[in-house]
Chains A and B, each alone.
Chain A
Amino acid sequence: MSEPRTQTVKSMRTPLARVRNLGASHSGTSDFWRQRLTAVAMLLLILPVIIIVMMLLGRNQAGAAQILGSPLVAIVLLLFIIASAWHMKIGMQVVIEDYVHGEKVKLAAIMANNFFSIAVALASIYAILKLSSGV
């Protein structure tokens, strides 16, 4: 059996004081809220996104580039990319926190998750902006 918790805690602060306001993670429920916010955003955007993908089927690069670069299509896709990247970053962090228990491995995994999500989002955003500018 492990030692009683009261002997290992060196802090003068009570457990209640440590979780008050924004809690032990210092970010409160902001991730919980943003997960729902981005979910609802994607629910609203999924139909336009499906229609855009359908419009692109079977076209060559010139045809696809023309559609992807048109303002309305580009804006819808940019919104969807931002919402999905944010949503998947939070979701994967929850998975990591549930299954990875080694503190250093966990920190590395959370960092990798942030890098991956931001890189994928930025690459996609860059592609759409490049198509929109027509160069």
Chain B
Amino acid sequence: MALSIVHRATGIALYFGTLLLAWWLISAASGPTAYANVQAFTSSFLGRLIVFGYTWALLHHLFSGLRHLVWDLGYGFKASEREALTWGALIAGIAATVLLWVVAYAIGGGR
């Protein structure tokens, strides 16, 4: 598995994704018009795709990073354990992303 490069790639994506988060926070502090602009973007197809991608990048990086913390503590170095941790991170990242979006739509975030 070559997941270490995915860890790095998602990290870089999250790095630039913080611009979106900062824009969102600043717009909330600026007023209704600025906030409506952000909402118009995040409810567009492209905006929603970017936020969905951001959610996956964040959660994948989180679970993949957890794997690194396990290795830092000196566990999980056997070949089978490495495979299990890597697949676990990949599956957990995707599953948690889908779960969060289902919950988000269920509580009315899809409006």
| Chain A residues at the B interface, C-beta cutoff of 8 Å | 36, 39-40, 42-43, 46, 50, 54, 57-58, 60-62, 64-65, 68, 84-85, 88, 91-92, 95, 116, 120, 123-124, 126-128, 130-131
Contact = CB atoms under 8 A, between A and B. Distances in A.
Nearest to B33: A61
B104 A39 contact: no
Interface in B41-96: 62, 65-66, 69, 72
A68 B58 CA distance: 21
Interface of B: 8, 11-12, 14-15, 18-19, 21-22, 25-29, 31-32, 34-36, 62, 65-66, 69, 72, 100, 103-104, 107-111
Q: Interface of chain B, helix or strand or loop or mixed?
A: helix
Contacts of A50: 100
A36 B72 contact: yes
Q: Interface of chain A, helix or strand or loop or mixed?
A: helix
Contacts of B15: 88, 91-92, 116
Contacts, number: 79
A57 B26 contact: no
Contact of A65 (B21, B28, B36, B110): B28
Q: Which of A57, A60, A95, A131 has the most CB of B within 10 A?
A: A57
A126 B28 CA distance: 11
B98 to A, nearest CB: 14
30 contacts: A36-B69, A39-B65, A40-B69, A42-B62, A50-B100, A54-B103, A57-B108, A57-B109, A58-B109, A58-B110, A58-B111, A60-B32, A61-B28, A61-B32, A62-B32, A64-B35, A65-B28, A68-B29, A88-B18, A91-B11, A120-B18, A120-B19, A120-B22, A123-B26, A124-B18, A124-B21, A124-B22, A124-B25, A127-B22, A128-B25
Contacts of A131: 28-29
Q: Which of B21, B27, B34, B109 has the most CB of A within 10 A?
A: B21
